[in-house]
């Protein structure tokens, strides 16, 4: 088995797991799952893949003038004279046109169309020439209308539905379960149980009075229940150590971006053969100098009734222990990792009984029989595990007991009343943000529950049908494009087209399957509306074992759960490891998509997003994976060289793009870091345009919609609005001091995403009649797909 490759697939797991603690999950591996946007810390998967396309050349010859709506420069100027900076005026314009719309049936006057038109009119700055800076033209007024400050330092049109999503979910949780009549009686019961688990977690989190009343008692009770201190004399017995570690690892809460499991962590990952196997790795330290004194105060609170505890001694012993635990080894390991069976693990590192540990852990979810002496384990850090074994042979039980207790306290203290938590450890700084905090808690601990009930109130079959249709048009246009690419060998071209045909799609949620999976995982969970601490602990026990349950399954068997994003996510992803595209319900709303608006808006929005994800299958990373998501080279030497040359064009082009700060200083994009995403953006825009054209040819209903104009925007052609819709999804305002931060993402900033892609697309230049060598129509263009 080639374990270098394991890391490339690993990140798909974190979709369903709260945190995957293997060190392999570090950022450097994040390029294996592609998403469309800049993500917050919580979304650790990023990546890319790419596309192709070839057309039904007969159907759409994109270089043909007849197919493109051309406008004279004068026409453009006239259009640009609409003043979009005054909202009152805009509303008036729209209202007038709605009235007109009754006479001229080609104006769409639905609520959705008015909303879309309003968004666009409030965003564009028609004082800017679209051929000079298209991003500024589409987003100039968005930026003016959305100020930022040091605290709220970034705002993006991409995330504009976020507050509404939150509000919808929170409103739902403030009401009782509403039965879904399409479900059987039994399924309704199961659905209600799951709903109430989510509701209880939210309400118990919001119930500050009860949390305060309980003080540190829930933590004291948990420590008692675990009997850590009571068994301190037995920790030199490898068997006893295995038992207590399984118990501790079940409740230890993953509360920050790292995992703070006692001594080591155990997860699972997918190996080269597509099987899920156990993965053993290094843990993180809990004490650092800055937090040391805060921790002593917290411990004094928790142990105030236990006279025999000497807090200073306790903390000092743990500081000393962690120093040894994380001591760098002087020995050079030939291989940093190994795959061994459990029997060998026990022989090599005998101070923990690994078999007992795993049996206990698997027993907690009724799957003890899955563990045998032959069960393989991927040890990701030989040096660390070796050292761990050595110091376990030297350390006394009292120190280990102190360490175990402190790991639990460290992990779970955020669930206590803030009254008892030292300032440094507070997860929530002000109670005025309690709603947001509790929304984050439910999203983090019960993401699949939130996902289910978000989809229930938001998703519907017509959205699914529409989005799936767009996916298929994108697929078709990519296959068309690839078939026509001249620089690929026949063999490579044929395989690439097969890869596109094989891309799995998951749009929204499969309701019945989802209910069954969730119920199977959570049926034994009991929650109450007044016990926040224990609700989280119990949920965490289930989540901590989530990744282990699938061992020895093949990735194909659990494909859907591996690639499914929570439905409320405003994003989309391509997964290299499974050659799959996932479009959750969260992104099937404005500014990307709406039912009942002209297709040019939807294709400029969600169409470019789906095109982006498909293109990731053929970006500079994704192209190195085969149809099944294996790391297999299927390119000829000359194809690869040709590709690299074309990719270099993008690197050089994006290196010249920049954001300018208030002082006029330019902050340049890193063409290399953002290469995969830029390739995806470029391919995505072209594919979206082509697939829109395909849809017009094949679907008379959409042709009818195509003819509809938007109120207040009748001066623009459908083609122009397609590009404006694309530009609008990338509007952003960033606080001056943070421009630099944005540039270290693997995604380019909004202005480069828009201007880079449109300036490489000749249809754009024709649509806006941009003179050759104007900024948005350079003579030399970059193109791969």
* Interface residue list for Zn ion (CB under 5 A): 34, 48, 677, 680
Based on CB atoms, which residue is closest to Zn ion, 478 or 718? 478
Give CA–CA dist 391/151, Å, rounded.
Answer: 45
Based on CB atoms, which residue is closest to Zn ion, 599 or 677? 677
Give whole-number Cα distances, 437 to 165, 236, 533, 724, in Å: 15, 41, 15, 36
Nearest to 728 by CA among 632, 623, 637, 606: 606
Tell me which residue has tokens 């620089």: 487
Shortest Cβ 657–Zn ion spacing (Å): 17
Q: Could you give the strand order of the β-sheet that contains 580-583, starting from the edge strand earlier in sequence?
A: 33-35, 573-575, 580-583, 504-507
Based on CB atoms, which residue is closest to Zn ion, 505 or 709? 505
Give CA–CA dist 220/305, Å, rounded.
Answer: 10
Shortest Cβ 46–Zn ion spacing (Å): 7
Shortest Cβ 48–Zn ion spacing (Å): 5
Shortest Cβ 618–Zn ion spacing (Å): 12
Shortest Cβ 623–Zn ion spacing (Å): 14
8 A C-beta contact, residue 31 and residue 48:
yes
Based on CB atoms, which residue is closest to Zn ion, 264 or 574? 574
Shortest Cβ 556–Zn ion spacing (Å): 24
Shortest Cβ 615–Zn ion spacing (Å): 8
Give whole-number Cα distances, 770 to 78, 581, 777, 778, in Å: 15, 35, 6, 10
In degrees and rounded to multiples of 5, residue 428 shows phi and psi of -130, 120
Shortest Cβ 676–Zn ion spacing (Å): 7
Based on CB atoms, which residue is closest to Zn ion, 191 or 677? 677
Tell me which residue has tokens 């929204």: 508
Based on CB atoms, which residue is closest to Zn ion, 31 or 713? 31
Tell me which residue has tokens 């009942």: 596
Who contacts 62 (Cβ-Cβ below 8 Å, separation ≥6)? 55, 686, 689, 690, 693, 762, 763
Who contacts 723 (Cβ-Cβ below 8 Å, separation ≥6)? 134, 138, 604, 758, 764, 767, 768
Kindly state the tokens that stand for 142.
């968005």
Based on CB atoms, which residue is closest to Zn ion, 242 or 622? 622
Based on CB atoms, which residue is closest to Zn ion, 128 or 784? 784
Q: Which residues pair with 733 in a beta bridge?
A: 155
Shortest Cβ 670–Zn ion spacing (Å): 16
In the bound state, the residue with its beta carbon closest to Zn ion is 34
Based on CB atoms, which residue is closest to Zn ion, 48 or 580? 48
DSSP letter string over 357-385? HHHHHHHTTT-GGG--TT-EEEES-HHHH
Shortest Cβ 681–Zn ion spacing (Å): 8
Give CA–CA dist 424/524, Å, rounded.
Answer: 35
Give CA–CA dist 631/499, Å, rounded.
Answer: 13
Based on CB atoms, which residue is closest to Zn ion, 412 or 675? 675
Task: Provide the 10 A C-beta neighbour count for residue 175.
Answer: 8
Based on CB atoms, which residue is closest to Zn ion, 532 or 650? 650
> Helix, strand or coil for residue 506?
strand
Shortest Cβ 32–Zn ion spacing (Å): 12
The H or E element that residue 204 is part of is helix 185-206
Shortest Cβ 699–Zn ion spacing (Å): 28
Shortest Cβ 572–Zn ion spacing (Å): 8
Based on CB atoms, which residue is closest to Zn ion, 34 or 713? 34
Residues in the chain, total? 785
Quote the DSSP letter at residue 564.
Answer: P
Quote the DSSP letter at residue 423.
Answer: G
Nearest to 449 by CA among 746, 123, 191: 191
Based on CB atoms, which residue is closest to Zn ion, 48 or 720? 48
The H or E element that residue 577 is part of is none
Based on CB atoms, which residue is closest to Zn ion, 414 or 750? 750
Based on CB atoms, which residue is closest to Zn ion, 414 or 727? 727
Tell me which residue has tokens 């490339």: 8
Kindly state the tokens that stand for 117.
């038109």
266-285 b/e (C-beta count within 10 Å ≥ 16 → b): bbbbbbeebbbbbbbbbbeb
682-699 b/e (C-beta count within 10 Å ≥ 16 → b): bbbbbbbbbbbbbbbeee
Shortest Cβ 269–Zn ion spacing (Å): 23
Shortest Cβ 30–Zn ion spacing (Å): 12
8 A C-beta contact, residue 263 and residue 326:
no
């Amino acid at each position: 088995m080639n374990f270098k490759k394991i890391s490339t697939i690993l990140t798909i797991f974190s979709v369903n797991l709260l945190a995957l603690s293997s060190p392999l999950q570090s950022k450097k591996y994040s390029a294996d799952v592609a998403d469309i946007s800049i993500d917050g810390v919580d979304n650790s998967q990023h990546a890319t893949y790419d596309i192709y396309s070839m057309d039904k050349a007969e159907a759409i010859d994109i270089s043909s003038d007849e197919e493109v709506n051309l406008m004279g420069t004068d026409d453009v100027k006239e259009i640009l004279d609409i003043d979009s900076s005054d909202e009152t005026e805009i509303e008036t314009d729209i209202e007038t046109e709605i009235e007109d719309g009754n006479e001229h049936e080609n104006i769409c006057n639905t609520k959705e169309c008015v909303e879309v038109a309003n968004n666009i009119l409030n965003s564009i700055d028609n004082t800017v020439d679209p051929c000079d800076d298209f991003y500024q033209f589409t987003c100039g007024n968005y930026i003016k209308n959305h100020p930022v400050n040091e605290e709220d330092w970034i705002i993006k049109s991409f995330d504009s539905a976020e507050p509404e999503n939150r509000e919808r979910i929170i409103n739902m949780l403030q009401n009782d379960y509403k039965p879904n009549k399409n479900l059987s009686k039994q399924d309704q019961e199961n659905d209600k149980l799951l709903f109430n688990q989510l509701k209880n977690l939210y309400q118990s989190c919001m119930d500050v009075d009860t949390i305060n009343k309980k003080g540190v008692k829930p933590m004291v009770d948990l420590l008692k229940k675990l009997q850590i201190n009571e068994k301190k004399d037995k920790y030199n017995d490898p068997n006893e150590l295995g038992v207590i570690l399984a118990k501790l690892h079940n409740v230890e809460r993953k509360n920050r971006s790292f995992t703070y499991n006692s001594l080591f962590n155990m997860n699972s990952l997918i190996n080269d053969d597509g099987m899920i196997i156990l993965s053993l790795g290094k843990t993180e330290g809990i004490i650092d100098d800055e937090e040391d004194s805060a921790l002593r105060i917290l411990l004094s609170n928790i142990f105030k009734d236990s006279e025999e505890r000497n807090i200073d001694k306790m903390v000092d012993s743990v500081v000393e222990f962690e120093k040894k635990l994380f001591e760098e080894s002087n020995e050079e390991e030939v291989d940093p990792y190994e795959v061994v069976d459990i029997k060998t693990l026990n022989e090599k590192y005998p101070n923990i009984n690994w078999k007992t540990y795993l049996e206990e852990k698997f027993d907690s979810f009724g799957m003890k029989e899955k563990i045998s002496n032959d069960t393989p384990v991927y040890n990701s850090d030989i040096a660390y595990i070796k050292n761990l074994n050595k110091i376990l042979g030297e350390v006394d039980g009292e120190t280990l007991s102190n360490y175990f207790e402190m790991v639990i306290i460290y992990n779970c203290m955020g669930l206590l009343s803030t009254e008892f938590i030292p300032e440094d450890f507070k997860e929530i700084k002000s109670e005025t943000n309690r709603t947001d905090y509790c929304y984050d808690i439910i999203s983090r601990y019960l993401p699949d529950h939130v996902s289910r009930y978000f989809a229930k109130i938001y998703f519907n079959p017509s959205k699914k049908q529409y989005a799936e249709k767009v996916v298929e048009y994108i697929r078709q246009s990519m296959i068309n494009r690839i078939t026509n690419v001249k620089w690929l060998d026949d063999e490579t071209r044929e395989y690439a087209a097969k890869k596109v045909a094989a891309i799995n799609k998951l749009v929204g949620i499969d309701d019945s399957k989802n209910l069954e999976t969730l119920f199977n995982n959570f049926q034994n969970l009991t929650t109450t509306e007044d016990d926040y601490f224990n609700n989280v602990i119990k949920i965490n026990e289930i989540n901590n074992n989530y990744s282990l349950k699938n061992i020895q399954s093949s990735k194909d068997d659990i494909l859907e759960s591996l690639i499914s994003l929570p439905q409320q996510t405003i994003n989309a992803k391509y997964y290299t490891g499974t050659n799959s595209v996932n479009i959750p319900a969260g992104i099937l709303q404005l500014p990307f998509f709406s039912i009942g608006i002209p297709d040019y808006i939807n294709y400029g929005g969600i169409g470019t997003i789906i095109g982006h994800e498909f293109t990731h299958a053929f970006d500079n990373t994704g192209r190195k994976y085969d149809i099944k998501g294996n790391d297999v080279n299927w390119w000829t030497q000359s194809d690869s060289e040709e590709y690299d040359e074309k990719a270099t064009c993008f690197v050089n082009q994006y290196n010249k793009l920049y954001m300018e700060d208030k002082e006029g200083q330019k902050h340049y994009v890193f063409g290399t870091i953002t290469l995969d995403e830029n390739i995806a953006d470029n391919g995505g825009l072209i594919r979206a345009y082509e697939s829109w054209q395909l849809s017009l040819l094949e679907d008379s209903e959409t042709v009818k919609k195509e003819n509809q104009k938007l109120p207040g925007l009748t001066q623009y052609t459908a083609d122009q609005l397609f590009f404006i819709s694309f530009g609008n999804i990338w509007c952003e305002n960033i606080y001056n001091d943070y421009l630099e931060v944005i540039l270290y993402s693997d995604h380019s900033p909004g202005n480069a995403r828009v201007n880079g892609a449109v300036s490489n697309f000749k249809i754009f230049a024709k649509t806006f009649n941009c003179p050759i060598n104007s900024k948005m129509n350079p003579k030399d263009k970059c193109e791969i797909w």
